[in-house]
Homo-oligomer: A and B are copies of this chain.
Amino acid sequence: MEIERKFLIRKDDLPQDLASYPCHRIEQGYLCTSPVVRIRRQDDDYFLTYKSRGLMSREEYNLPLTAEAYEHLKPKADGILITKDRYVIPEKDGLFIELDVFHGEYEGVLLAEVEFPTEEAANAYTAPDWFGEDVTYSTRYHNSTMSQSWQSDYCSLHSQ
């Protein structure tokens, strides 16, 4: 079970020391969005991911692919491939912030996710000052939704 909350971030509110945190290059595409069947390259690792339907809580399976299998499946993805840099920033209580800096069609969009061990912990979480709007319950900010078609208002809204 994956339990996470998701927040928009304004560019001006990014941590000054962002470059000091570990960063992964991610490319991902969607073969299906309900349920989610996703392929992802993260640096030199490749995965097929299945996520059941849901917003804050979803069942998730991450299954290894070879580079060849990933390249075979890539043309089967619908819509656009999502590319982003993911910074991993330590947060209080042993949590981690995954800060996604989008590139390509979504250049300028910034989203932070925090994963929790329980729904109670997720509901009790107080976000740091630099986090913006809580979009946990908006399917609009699912990467699967974003992959289906480019929507110019994502960038005009969030690159202020």
Name A's B-contacting residues (CB within 8 A).
31-32, 34-35, 37, 48, 50, 52, 61, 63-66, 68-69, 72-73, 76
Q: Which residues of B contact A73 (CB under 8 A)?
A: 31-32, 37
Q: How many copies does the complex hold?
A: 2
Task: Check A37–B32 contact: CB distance below 8 A.
Answer: no
Task: Check B35–A64 contact: CB distance below 8 A.
Answer: yes
Q: Which residues of B contact A48 (CB under 8 A)?
A: 37, 50
Per a CB cutoff under 8 Å, which of B35, B37, B66 touches A35? Answer: B66
**CB proximity of A57 to chain B, nearest CB, Å:** 16
Per a CB cutoff under 8 Å, which of B32, B66, B68 touches A69? Answer: B32
Per a CB cutoff under 8 Å, which of B35, B66, B68, B76 touches A65? Answer: B35
